[in-house]
Amino acid sequence: MNKKKVRQNEIISKLKIKDVLSVEEIAATFNITEATVRRDLEELEQEGHIVRIHGGARISQEDPSLIKTFKERTHNMIKEKERIADKVAALIPDHSIITLDNGTTAWLVAKRLKQKKDLTIVTNSLLILDELIDTEGIHLLMAGGTFRKRNYDFIGEKAVHFLSDIYSDIAVLTCDSFRPGLGFYKLSEASAEIAKAAVHSSKKVIVLADHTKLNATGSHRYLIPEKVDSLFTDCNMAQSDKNLLQSECYKTIYC
């Protein structure tokens, strides 16, 4: 195996651990030029191993064996996700009906709602149900259907119909990717259908996404920009990326 292929395999291994790497990080790690990094990333993307994003790359998740479990995803960008969750939870009003999807950041929001008064939480996430089941003053409405062990959630036609028929004041949704001018995406069609149902029956829609989700992998769109009220993301986003979001029709809140 030649030196270039060894390096490329090491890049893939590091991406499987960290999920996202910048061109600058890769260049420094292997003591190579950024031009060489970009050539490596182009070859790896053509082979289907990685997906290039603005300023770097992330592991390709089209292969189901590389899609991380819920527990694995809780460790990704945890500080950024916690700041987002803090901000969102503080804005949730008492006496409201809130839909939370199966994302890790939505789960972090749920953990912060225990002091609220008279909330109704609508969800398809077993972990959110488990988190709030013993909390006084929180009423739980759980979507049933087909249980998905990897994400500890329920999907399928029954779950979609349930969420479509339940009104909520605010849908708090996550995404695997968001693209300026295009909208918000999930990796799986099943997750996208769940999110579409939540959007359909909610008065207000907010999306939670750390900055690595910008132009990341995710082929199933569930939400167009015009249907979003607010995007909550982290303040570590590059200024050039913030500039891209300035023309969006929704409000972007940096946490």
What is the C-alpha separation between 3 and 136, in angstroms, rounded? 60
Q: Among 99-103, 218-222, 243-247, which stretch is predicted with the lowest mean pLDDT?
A: 218-222
38 exposed, middle or buried (CB, 10 Å; 0-12, 13-18, 19+)? middle
Task: Specify the pLDDT at position 162.
Answer: 97
Does residue 37 carry a pLDDT above 80?
A: yes
Measured distance CA(153)–CA(166) in Å, rounded = 18
Find the range with the poorest average confidence among 26-35, 68-77, 124-133.
68-77
CATH architecture, domain 70-254: 3-Layer(aba) Sandwich (3.40)
CA distance 228 to 87: 17
Percent of the chain clearing pLDDT 70 (strictly above): 92
Q: Which residue has the higher pLDDT, 18 or 63?
A: 18
Return the CATH class of domain 3-60: mainly alpha
Of the spans 37-46, 60-69, 179-188, 224-233, which averages the highest pLDDT?
A: 224-233
Output phi, psi for 246, to 5 deg.
-65, -30
Q: Output 239 or 15, whichever has higher pLDDT.
A: 239
pLDDT at 70 over 60: no
Least confident among 58-67, 119-128, 138-147: 58-67
Residues whose CB is less than 8 angstroms from the CB of residue 211 and which lie 6 or more positions away in sequence, other chains included = 80, 233, 234, 236, 237, 238, 241
Domain extents in the chain: 3-60, 70-254
Kindly report, residue by residue over 184-222, the tens digit of the pLDDT. Answer: 999 888 899 999 999 999 999 999 999 999 988 777 899
81: left (phi over 0), alpha (psi -120 to 50) or beta: alpha
What three-state secondary structure class fits 160? Answer: helix
Contact predicate 223/195, CB 8 Å = yes
Residue 64 has pLDDT above 50, yes or no: no
Beta strand 153-155 with 146-148 is: antiparallel
Tell me the per-residue pLDDT of 9-30, one tens digit each, with 9 for 90 and over. Answer: 999 888 876 767 899 999 999 9
Average pLDDT, the chain: 89
Looking at residue 69, what is its pLDDT?
Answer: 56
Closest CA relative to residue 64, chosen from 130, 149, 126:
149
Q: Tell me the three state secondary structure of residue 65.
A: helix
Residue 95 has pLDDT above 50, yes or no: yes
Identify the CA nearest to 82 among candidates 234, 215, 239, 231: 234
What is the Cα–Cα distance from 133 to 89, expressed in whole angstroms?
A: 18
The whole-angstrom distance between residue 71's C-alpha and the CA centroid of its chain comes to: 14
pLDDT at 54: 82
With H, G, I as helix, E, B as strand and everything else as coil, classify residue 95: coil
Q: Roughly what angle, to the nearest 10 degrees, separates helices 34-46 and 23-30? A: 110
Greater confidence (60 vs 84) lies with 84
**Quick check: helix, strand or coil at residue 153?**
strand
* Cβ neighbours of 204 (radius 10 Å): 14
The CA distances from residue 32 to 5, 7, 52, 160, 255, in Å, are: 14, 10, 18, 49, 34
Question: Has residue 110 got a pLDDT over 90?
Answer: yes
Strand partners, 56: 22, 53
Q: What is the pLDDT of residue 71?
A: 57
pLDDT of residue 66: 46
pLDDT, residue 65, reads: 44
